[in-house]
Amino acid sequence: MTDRNGERQQVVVVVRVEPVGADLQVAPGETIIEAAWRHGYHWPTTCHGQATCTICRVEVLSGTEHLTPVGADEQDVLANRLPGAARLDLTRVRLACRAGATGRVTVLKKGVRRLTTVHLPPADEPPTAGTADGPPETGRAAKQP
């Protein structure tokens, strides 16, 4: 896509993940699970993107036409390794480790959650003592009124 000056514009592709409500910007050539990892989300998997566990699978709620085509490896895994595949509508099931997006898509994936970062003091720093008003102060947030 180009703007009025003929300069190339970066198209922002967003995949919405429910029920967590995450909006993931997916880069060209990136899969949904890679975008989730880059945005700091945990995504259920045991093969970590090798298209063997099927645990990363999503149900596509909308925008199926904006997903990258199903490759042979993904098709094989969905048909032969996905528990209950015969009873599922496989046109609405994709592997997050294989599907990329070219437009707005909404998927359902339980178990996706934002990873939190715990900032610990350096090992050589002694812990501060608590007061009668509460626990020891830690970080900037604890010092605000």
Tell me if residue 143 falls in helix, strand or coil: helix
Q: Rule CB under 6 A: say whether 79 interacts with ligand FES.
A: no
Nearest approach, Cβ of residue 141 and ligand FES (Å): 35
CA-CA distances (angstroms) from residue 89 to 16, 40, 78? Answer: 20, 30, 11
Determine contact, residues 10/85, Cβ cutoff 8 Å. Answer: no
Distance in Å, CB of 52 to ligand FES, minimum: 6
Q: Which is nearer to ligand FES, 55 or 121 (CB)?
A: 55
Joined tokens for residue 41? 């989300």
Which residue in this structure is represented by tokens 């909404």? 106
Residue corresponding to tokens 């009668």: 132
Cβ 36 to ligand FES, closest distance in Å? 11
Angle 87-66-114 from CA coordinates, rounded to 5°? 80
40 vs 121, beta carbon nearer ligand FES:
40
Query: In the 3-class helix/strand/coil scheme, how is 13-40 assigned residue by residue?
Result: EEEEEECCCEEEEECCCCCHHHHHHHCC
> Does 102 interact with ligand FES (rule: CB under 6 A)?
no
Q: Mask: binding to ligand FES, 18-57, rule CB under 6 A, as x and -?
A: ---------------------------x-x-xxxxxxxx-
* Closest distance to ligand FES from the beta carbon of 79 (Å): 13
Considering the complex, state which of residue 20 and residue 49 has its C-beta at the smaller distance from ligand FES: 49
**Which parts of this chain interact with ligand FES (CB under 6 A)?**
45, 47, 49-56, 95, 97
